[in-house]
Structure 1
């Protein structure tokens, strides 16, 4: 038998959100943007199709220039990948290996422990608070001489909770400067919490902070795979060293620039989704559900041991959320019609579940 790493065979596979197929169900399991791409972005992509026989630029020069100017940072502070999850993988591979530890809250983005183990490092999950928020004091207490990297997902996936500016300052004061803290802001565009920590502010104040952003959510480019890190120059250089060559396609780069050009239109769509998230939360609470505020493009039903039953009932009524057995169900903010269907399904569930 061909040799394979034993640790890999024991890894859970990353689960993609269930697709509806021909069932007529609505897919609210992947936090996708429900709006179709902007015509201006589609036009740019179509115009680039005649050059897909050529390799893309690995340095993404136009996108780099635009983002560097936007954030008032140096071009050397940017590194790109096929979505922010791939850049997260770069960060892990560049920072940690066998015998090293990577800390993250749990539950948080489910790819973290998988990516850490693929790199041969040791994942250190730290339980969330009872309010489904990052327990930053506990995460600081978990730091050892082997800690190399810490992920802080803000807003947190799948709970939607934020970390405050004061909490982040207190936390970073306890983190050694040789440990990189990555603020994962995949959902930052939907964040309306005035007290929330802003990754870029911390990057500019601390030498050991990096920030992750993606074009998948607010910009609606999930299918093209484009994300980036804002990081200290030495860290960003290492990310480029460990990245997959030509991993960001020319189509993705052009679509990213076109999306920045159309940001006003895209922000109007984000505002609609934030309003819909607010409406869904209010509707759930009016039905008797206990739901915490979310600052992402989804809501979190803390259903505990009743998760399988509640999820099965939602599926029966054509609502495909993302269930985490024994914990809860994350339901994306979709179109108005999809959200109406979700609220109708939630209202019809029998009372007495932990989320109600």
Structure 2
């Protein structure tokens, strides 16, 4: 008996590229292995945050607060914005999906740097929009003049990732403000600041301040990186009230669990202790960058919790050498490898690998 044809998804769904997550390390006899492939915070949860999450888990038989009132209030106080200017979702990546869903019609163009966050082309394709990828510079930086030139009458959204994942450089506040001032006001400018807490540079960006100047600016941030809640998936956007309302309108009901909600509130309350850990990671980043550069590597400016090796066709060989050393990195075939800042022992192995793997071949 011949089966009837299966239903067919929309044409744009077939064009969605697969997201490639950082793979976990394979256990090795006699060798501690480390996962440096997902830009995770290597520190365990703070005891107070863990206790709050454990207590919240006792109510897993109940639906979470769909309004997430406690976290909205806490974020509004922390950043001096109105609750009406906020939108929550399951990680900042979900907010990007929601924004493209809310603002893009099929065929509309979305401009972003490339290489940048791997989820961007996926989210654009899922919205049936069109990606306009503008190559980063040789230093891994956004080419802002080229991005401005890429804006057309079909452009609905421009996305800026700062610090840029996976290459590492961050945009200055001056450059951001000058860029946004030249973008047509009907075009949404997303400033993706998933790694903002790790930035240490003069004239560092503050996209929330820019949101107050420009009604088309949307800031996305996350609790996954600096706050160490990657497993709970909580992100937030700051935007003009009507834009934030549109993001909330297309959000998944009950998307943020009760446990995640309470852990995020507790993390904000414990921010001083958490940011001490961020300072330790920034210090480790400086040590790693110095060690790698001593080996002769020309690294891009690292402002996130990771470093970027521009390896080209040698990327797979580098990833294999890292595996052999008991560290798992995130390779991008034919381009390079991103390596997260992890535990000191893991970072020592990255430096040693950089010295063994000839940068001049």
**Shorter chain as normaliser: what TM range?**
over 0.9
Compute the displacement of 1:350 (Å): 3.5
CA distance in 2, matches of 1:7, 1:179: 23
Question: Quick one: which of 189, 192, 195 aligns to 1:184?
Answer: 192
The answer for the alignment partner of 1:21 in structure 2 is 26
Contact 2:215/2:239 (<8 A) preserved: no
Contact 1:319/1:345 (<8 A) preserved: no
Matched residue SS, 1:329: strand
Question: Quick one: which of 4, 13, 17 aligns to 1:12?
Answer: 17
Question: Quick one: which of 306, 309, 324 aligns to 1:298?
Answer: 306
Residue 289 of structure 2 corresponds to residue 281 of structure 1 = yes
Compute the displacement of 1:55 (Å): 1.1
Q: Could you tell me the TM-score, scaled by structure 2's length?
A: 0.95
Compute the displacement of 1:197 (Å): 2.0
CA distance in 1, matches of 2:251, 2:344: 39
Range with bigger deviation, 85-94 or 19-28: 19-28
Residue 165 of structure 2 corresponds to residue 193 of structure 1 = no
Runs of 4+ in 1 over 4 A off after TM superposition: none
Contact 1:163/1:196 (<8 A) preserved: yes
Residue 88 of structure 2 corresponds to residue 76 of structure 1 = no
CA distance in 2, matches of 1:65, 1:342: 41
CA distance in 2, matches of 1:305, 1:179: 37
Matched residue SS, 1:79: strand
Residue 151 of structure 2 corresponds to residue 143 of structure 1 = yes
Compute the displacement of 1:177 (Å): 0.5
CA distance in 2, matches of 1:73, 1:351: 47
Matched residue SS, 1:51: coil
Residue 348 of structure 2 corresponds to residue 343 of structure 1 = no
Alignment deviations for residues 291-335 of structure 1 (CA, whole Å, 9 cap, x no partner): 122010000111122222222222222221111112111000001
CA distance in 1, matches of 2:346, 2:179: 39
Contact 2:15/2:125 (<8 A) preserved: no
Contact 2:156/2:187 (<8 A) preserved: yes
CA distance in 1, matches of 2:210, 2:359: 44
Q: Could you tell me the TM-score, scaled by structure 1's length?
A: 0.97
The answer for the alignment partner of 2:226 in structure 1 is 218
The answer for the alignment partner of 2:3 in structure 1 is none
Question: Quick one: which of 28, 48, 52 aligns to 2:60?
Answer: 52
Contact 1:84/1:227 (<8 A) preserved: yes
CA distance in 2, matches of 1:351, 1:17: 24
Matched residue SS, 1:285: helix
Residue 8 of structure 2 corresponds to residue 3 of structure 1 = yes
Compute the displacement of 1:351 (Å): 4.9
Between Structure 1 and Structure 2, how many residues are aligned?
A: 353
Residue 272 of structure 2 corresponds to residue 264 of structure 1 = yes
